A = this chain, B = another copy of it.
Amino acid sequence: METATCTEKCSQVVPAAEDALYIIAGKWKMRILITLAGGDKRFNELQRALSGISARVLSNELKDLELNGLVSRKILDNGTILYVRNAYADSLRSVMHELVQWGMDHKQKIRNREI
């Protein structure tokens, strides 16, 4: 039976993909994760590294990432606050890889006017 209406199949598959997309698809989420992969950072340090993000937005993004367990807010003894990329963020590796790969291939195809 090849009757794959959206109501049947989409309802199983799409919400899961959308959850994933919601978490990484923001303008800054990936950049933050990549930047934090280079080492823990403080708020302002992060803001400078990302160049272009506002404090408000950075604050929101970090809260989202924290809620989803990808990043932690660590308070040192001297009171310094560090944002740390969690090991769990590595679980996004293959998703990211696929996205980047497909994006590159696709852009190439378009450049070559294969589309």
Check if B95 sits within 8 Å of A49, measured CB to CB: no
Q: Which of A4, A16, A18, A39 has the most CB of B within 10 A?
A: A16
Main SS of the interface on chain A? Answer: helix
B21 touches A21 (CB 8 A): yes
B2 touching A39 by the CB < 8 A rule? yes
Bound-state CA distance A103–B34 (Å) is 20
Chain A residues close to B by CB (< 8 Å): 2-7, 9-10, 13-21, 23-25, 30-31, 34-35, 37-39, 49-51, 67-69, 88, 91-92, 94-96, 98-107, 109-110, 114-115
Do A99 and B20 touch across chains, with their CB atoms under 8 A apart?
yes
Nearest CB in chain B to that of A114: its residue? B69
A69 engages B109 (CB within 8 Å): yes
Q: Is the CB of B20 within 8 A of A106?
A: yes
CB distance from A27 to the nearest CB of B (A): 8
Q: Is the CB of B115 within 8 A of A16?
A: no
Q: Which residues does chain B contribute within 8 Å of A6, judged by CB atoms?
A: 31, 34-35, 49-51
**Distance in angstroms between the alpha carbons of A95 and B6 in the assembled complex:** 19
